[in-house]
Chain A
């Protein structure tokens, strides 16, 4: 039991962060607009959650310009993918008990 709790990741404690990770593990990348539309959150809210995940080095952030418009692309890192997998496995184990 102690082990399972250990694997539950604090960084994924919030449902929006969980949503961001879910989207990124099945997509090569997602831009800010796509995440915003899928999760139905405000700019500021999304930015704070992506920043938190970026700080943990779970996601990559790539800023560029399309014409004159700034475009931010997110993708999952190897570390993020592993952490997410462990987290989901831990939840599944908890639910089986």
Chain B
């Protein structure tokens, strides 16, 4: 065998290692869109809150219910977009979307996220909602760090940033809304763009 053949061997080894252990069909565009949804949702919540004319939120109020629906819509749209674009990207790259790797990715991601989600809901129902923004950021960050070993590497750093924002948010709970906007809006757009430039565009 000549040098070129060995080079091909090394490429094949790397390719198989990555393909079999990492889910690479994550789309940068879905990150950007998730950020835009989050910013739109936040703007809507801010508008509702301003219109209510109070500087606090009452749990049984109409405003609070609208904000919950608003949050839910943002989350649903983000997930739907991520799935839709991943399916598209996987098809384009001739990869199978639902395999061992994507299952592991999902398990690693959902375990901290669901734990956090349920914990936050319990806290809200017992009227401890002061740290909701902080908890959302922290658990989302942990989910990203945990899932990063099964997908594009730099997702880990987005996770660390979300955790730090969550902790800062716990120190300054009055600014929870703005930390949330920064973590779920701005950071998603920034990171989505980075992934898009690094992984999507060259194809």
Contacts and interface: CB of A to CB of B under 8 A. Distances in A.
Most buried by A among B10, B12, B100: B100
A62 B191 CA distance: 42
Given A26-B17, A26-B20, A19 B12 contact: yes
Interface in B51-109: 96, 99-100
Interface residues of A, number: 18
Interface string B113-137: 0000000000000000000000000
A1 interface: no
B99 A22 contact: no
Contacts of A27: 20-21, 100
A18 B20 contact: no
Contacts of A92: 10
B20 A38 contact: yes
Contacts of B3: 94-95
A57 interface: no
A15 B10 CA distance: 10
Contact of A34 (B7, B9, B10, B100): B100
Given A23-B20, A95-B3, A37 B99 contact: yes
B13 interface: yes
A19 B14 CA distance: 9
A61 interface: no
B47 interface: no
A91 B10 contact: yes
Contact of A30 (B7, B9, B20): B20
B99 A95 contact: no
B100 A22 contact: no
A25 interface: yes
7 contacts: A15-B12, A18-B9, A22-B12, A22-B13, A26-B17, A91-B10, A95-B3
